[in-house]
Amino acid sequence: MRHPLVMGNWKLNGSKHMTAELIAGLRNALSGVDGCDVAIAPPVMYLEQAHQAIAGSHIALGAQNVDVNLSGAFTGEVSAEMLRDIGARYIIIGHSERRTYHKESDELVAKKFAILKDAGLIPVLCIGETEAENEAGKTEEVCSRQIDAVLNTLGAGAFNGAVIAYEPVWAIGTGKSATPAQAQAVHKFIRDHVAKKDAAVAQQLILQYGGSVNDKNAAELFAQPDIDGALVGGASLKADAFTAIVKAAAQAKNAG
Ligand code: PEP
């Protein structure tokens, strides 16, 4: 049985005050909630503060990006070793905002995946099609291309213990989530795609959905058999909404 993971991607939001308040709220509301792994990915500036604030709770620390280099003359970058050193565990790579604004290619994202595995960290590989690609019927083509960049260089075994977040770009931050049936169909496609290389790896793979998940639509999404939690943007900035999403995932797990 897979354990769902709900992860908050704070993006470029936060302050010392907000970090302290939000984590205090989450610790309080989530104590005793069982059946769902929880992680938060604050901006890199607040990772140390967040690490201290989550100590003794079952909230794990995540980060939003990593560089492919381990050290040296790479101004402004953060390495996998640094993330591990600071206590981060789940690292988002390939987010559509980085693919779009920072021109990150499938090949670069695959290198990041490899660097994280080497460092003993958990890659949260974001994939998903744009609205135009969706309308052109290219969802499966885009998702398989983005996964194959990792599968064909590192092999299916690299997905052991890793996470894929299916995030249709048209659903991110738009309030227009994929329907549970749409999301389930793509998640099943992704699991079957990995299973063609290794069925056991595909079976244990955590497949998150991401794209306008909120406290209202989470339960229906998590009731789908191939949706194992969510990567949450906007709603992860509010303790009550994020808590409701975590509880919905825990309930779906306990019901299933
Ligand atoms: C995201 O940025 O990964 C995301 C899913 O954002 P939102 O929940 O705001 O759509």
Position 255 confidence tier, pLDDT thresholds 50, 70, 90: confident
What's CA 89's distance to the chain center, in Å? 12
Helices (H) and strands (E) in the chain, counts: 11, 8
- Cα 116 to its chain centre, rounded Å, is 14
CA of 168 relative to ligand 1 center, distance in Å: 10
Contact 256 CB / ligand 1 (< 6 Å) = no
How many angstroms does the Cα of residue 249 sit away from the middle of ligand 1? 17
Over range 229-249, report the average pLDDT: 98
In this prediction, residue 256 carries a pLDDT of 73
Query: Please, are residues 8 and 242 in contact by the beta-carbon 8 Å criterion?
Result: yes
Residue type, 43: P
Q: How far away, in angstroms, is 224 Cα from ligand 1 center?
A: 19
Averaged over 16-31, what is the pLDDT? 97
pLDDT in tens, 143-190: 999 999 999 999 999 999 999 999 999 999 999 999 999 999 999 999
Compute the distance between CA of residue 128 and CA of residue 133 in angstroms, rounded to an integer.
9
Residue 223 CB partners (closer than 8 Å, separation 6+): 180, 252, 255
Does pLDDT of 254 surpass 90? no
Q: Is 133 a catalytic residue?
A: no
Please name the helix (run of DSSP H) or strand (run of DSSP E) that holds residue 206, with its range, or none: strand 206-210
pLDDT in tens, 44-99: 999 999 999 999 999 999 999 999 999 999 999 999 999 999 999 999 999 999 99
Q: Which atom of ligand 1 is nearest to the CA of 235?
A: 8
CA nearest neighbour of 79 among 54, 111, 37, 104: 111
Q: How many residues does the chain have?
A: 256
The whole-model pTM stands at: 0.97
Give the pLDDT mean for 35-52.
Answer: 97
Rounded Cα–Cα distance for residues 65 and 74 (Å): 14
The pLDDT of residue 30 is: 95
Which of 53, 57, 43, 38 minimizes the C-alpha distance to 11? Answer: 43
**Which position among 51, 167, 187, 220 bears the catalytic label?**
167
**The one-letter amino acid at 122:** I
Confidence band for 253, pLDDT divided at 50, 70 and 90? confident
- Reported as a pLDDT band with limits 50, 70 and 90, residue 1 is confident
Mean pLDDT for 129-137 is 98
The mean pLDDT value of the chain amounts to 97
Cβ count within 10 A of residue 220: 16
Query: What is the reported pLDDT for 241?
Result: 98
Q: Which amino acid is at 245?
A: I
Q: Which of 171, 175, 178 is nearest to 221 (CA)?
A: 178
CA-to-CA dists, residue 21 to 30, 49, 54, 94, angstroms? 14, 12, 12, 29
Asked if 104 is an active-site residue, the reply is: no
pLDDT of residue 32: 87
- The confidence score (pLDDT) of residue 85 equals 98
Domains of the chain listed by start with CATH number: 5-255 (3.20.20.70)
Alpha helices (H) along 75-231: 80-85, 96-101, 106-118, 131-135, 139-154, 180-195, 199-204, 218-222
pLDDT of residue 62: 98
Give the residue whose CA is nearest to atom 2 of ligand 1: 233
Nearest one of 210, 206, 251, 237 to 40, comparing CA atoms: 237
Structure tokens at 226: 């191939």
Angle at 133 between CA 182 and CA 203, to 5 degrees: 45
Higher pLDDT, 34 or 138: 138
Task: State if residue 167 touches ligand 1 by the CB under 6 angstroms criterion.
Answer: yes
